[in-house]
Amino acid sequence: MAPMLDLDDIQGDVPVGLQKDFEGFIFFKILDRGAFKLALRCDVIGRITSARRARARELEILRRKRLGHAGRDPMPGLNLGFTKDGLTQLLGPQRPTLDPAFERGADDPKTTATLHDPDRSDWLKEFLGDRIDGVFLVTAHDRPLLTFHRNQLVGFLGSGISLIYSEIGNRRPGRERRNEHFGFRDGISQPGIRGVTPPLRPGVAPDEGLPGQDLLWPGEFVLGYAGQHSTDPHKPGPEPQMMAPWMRNGSFMVFRRLEQKVPEFRAFVRQQAARLGMDPELLMARMVGRWKSGAPLERAPLRDDPALGGDDRRNNDFGFGDDELQRRCPYAAHIRKVYPRDDLDEAEAQRHRIIRAGIPFGPEVAAGETVTRHSRGLMFVCYQTSIERQFEYIQRHANDPSFVGGKRRPDGGTVTPGHDPIIGQAPGNGARSMDEPYPNYPAGNRRTTLEIPSQFVVLTAAGYFFMPSITALRTVLT
């Protein structure tokens, strides 16, 4: 039986995703608790976009696409999260403690040390000074509508808050619309959620949404429901334990502002591809695990296959288990590090999943921009119910050169896969390396290593937030 989720009570960005061509991130501090709560109750909570609404909009977009309608409907969205300090402002110092990582915070020295994050002194200065209590996510199909809603919201909140930092993410223009700044199609592989994601072939594959998309128990992403079982990937785990009943229908959000050094990345790839004697596009694909079109290396190991990349019924339907010698896809490729699929035990692999809901930010690379002059990258956002077991686990393993362990060379020797070349971070911003950038496909045993002296993805700000249910916003929090 699929679990019933209370979609009217869950914020829309968590299990479905707000419709976003533009997304404003408004980080604020509560100045006047009474005024803030009153404004939330009177003017803001009624405007929060629920998961039900977000899903209805998603279906409407699909319907219009099928009918061949061009253009986009204005579908403004609003969601809201609080940091640990924000919850203390609203509930007082005696409030229950929630997730351990959330209580630590993204800027805590223990967190930055565990994740090998750059020193906080290198973050945006706005994230260093004043306390951040929360973030509003405001979304729209164009910039004027976004600005209108953002200004209206700030007007409602008046002197109840001060703005700490505000930035707008935007999808890239034209043919790059679905791509992140390095040029790869993003947003392909997401875990499915039982009770939210419909199985495409319920009779044949009831535990799958689209082919290759495992359906997980909702408690992995929304609090108050059973999550995954620790040993059986299809069974629900035990009834959830929550520190407070009002956490139900809430979720934890990780925010990371990741700057991408695009010209430097391109130059590095060109140089290294020439050294290795391979096509730069293939080298990039081996760093990511997919081609720019989204086609997975597991299914297209030597050349891009845009038809495969664009086909949602095929582009995520693969495993790594039968690619024991990394002939098709390197062990260290981004998608293999962050979701090793059947490289791990099936139940274990599904205990470290996240729902990604980020958006690019910043301008396109300008003509003649050979060294990054404009800040651009990814406003990375993900949702989960345990920041330690989900996001932090993924980032730590992307940083760990020996993950996935136990792999062999064709001659039986052991392999150290290396760092995730996209998001892996070495301690003290040190150099990284990745095994086997040059493919030994279909056979061969040429040993190559990619030495990566600097980061092309640089963390410039981060935060851990709790996204409460709409009921919690209406009751205990205001």
Scanning residues 145 to 184, which ones bind ligand HEM (CB under 6 A)?
180, 182, 184
Cβ neighbours of residue 124 under 8 Å, at least 6 residues apart? Answer: 165, 257, 460, 461
Q: What share of the chain is helix, strand, coil (3-state, %, to 5)?
A: 30, 20, 50
State which residue, 105 or 158, has the beta carbon closest to ligand HEM. 105
Give the Cα separation of 169 and 24 in Å (integer).
Answer: 6
- Number of amino acids touching ligand HEM (CB under 6 A): 27
State which residue, 133 or 323, has the beta carbon closest to ligand HEM. 323
Q: Considering the rule CB under 6 A, would residue 361 count as an interface residue with ligand HEM? A: no
Under DSSP, the state recorded for 478 is -
The catalytic position among 9, 99, 117, 186 is 186
State which residue, 13 or 133, has the beta carbon closest to ligand HEM. 13
Give the Cα separation of 370 and 189 in Å (integer).
Answer: 32
Q: Considering the rule CB under 6 A, would residue 258 count as an interface residue with ligand HEM? A: yes
How does strand 192-193 pair with strand 215-216? parallel
State which residue, 256 or 286, has the beta carbon closest to ligand HEM. 256
Place of tokens 């969205």: 77
Q: Considering the rule CB under 6 A, would residue 213 count as an interface residue with ligand HEM? A: no
Task: State the minimum distance, in angstroms, from the CB of residue 337 to ligand HEM.
Answer: 9
State which residue, 19 or 293, has the beta carbon closest to ligand HEM. 293
Cα three-residue angle 412-416-419, rounded to 5 degrees: 150
Tell me which amino acid residue 291 is: W
Selected binder of ligand HEM within 36, 127, 320, 339 (CB under 6 A): 339
Q: Considering the rule CB under 6 A, would residue 422 count as an interface residue with ligand HEM? A: yes
Task: State the minimum distance, in angstroms, from the CB of residue 289 to ligand HEM.
Answer: 7
Q: Considering the rule CB under 6 A, would residue 326 count as an interface residue with ligand HEM? A: no
Tell me which amino acid residue 67 is: L
Scanning residues 376 to 405, which ones bind ligand HEM (CB under 6 A)?
377-378, 380, 391, 394-395
Selected binder of ligand HEM within 423, 452, 461, 472 (CB under 6 A): 423
Contacts with ligand HEM, 264-303, as mask; x by CB under 6 A? ------------------------x-x-------------
Selected binder of ligand HEM within 19, 228, 251, 260 (CB under 6 A): 260
Give the Cα separation of 262 and 255 in Å (integer).
Answer: 21
Place of tokens 């260093």: 128
Tell me which amino acid residue 154 is: V
Burial readout 106-126 (b: 16 or more C-beta within 10 A, e: otherwise): bbeeebbebbbbbebeebeee
Coil, strand or helix at 85: helix
Task: State the minimum distance, in angstroms, from the CB of residue 347 to ligand HEM.
Answer: 16
Of the chain, the end-to-end C-alpha distance in Å amounts to 35
Burial (CB count within 10 angstroms: exposed 0-12, middle 13-18, buried 19+), residue 169? buried
In the bound state, the residue with its beta carbon closest to ligand HEM is 189
Contact window for ligand HEM (CB under 6 A) among 24-32, 266-274, 372-380, 403-411: 372-380
The Cβ-side half-sphere exposure at 286, using a 13 Å CA radius, reads 30
Task: State the minimum distance, in angstroms, from the CB of residue 340 to ligand HEM.
Answer: 9
Selected binder of ligand HEM within 3, 105, 118, 187 (CB under 6 A): 187
Q: Considering the rule CB under 6 A, would residue 335 count as an interface residue with ligand HEM? A: yes
DSSP conformation letters of 99-154: -HHHHH-TTSHHHHHHHTPPPGGGS-GGGTSS---EEEEEEESSHHHHHHHHHHHH
State which residue, 48 or 450, has the beta carbon closest to ligand HEM. 450
Q: Considering the rule CB under 6 A, would residue 138 count as an interface residue with ligand HEM? A: no
Phi and psi of 233, rounded to 5°? Answer: -65, -15
Please say if 186 is a catalytic residue: yes
Contact window for ligand HEM (CB under 6 A) among 131-139, 253-261, 278-286, 361-369: 253-261
Q: Which two tokens stand for residue 38?
A: 């009153």
Give the Cα separation of 376 and 170 in Å (integer).
Answer: 10
Task: State the minimum distance, in angstroms, from the CB of residue 115 to ligand HEM.
Answer: 9
Residues lying near ligand HEM in the complex (CB under 6 A) are found at 180, 182, 184, 186-189, 256, 258, 260, 288, 290, 334-335, 338-339, 354, 356, 377-378, 380, 391, 394-395, 422-423, 457
- Residues catalogued as catalytic: 186
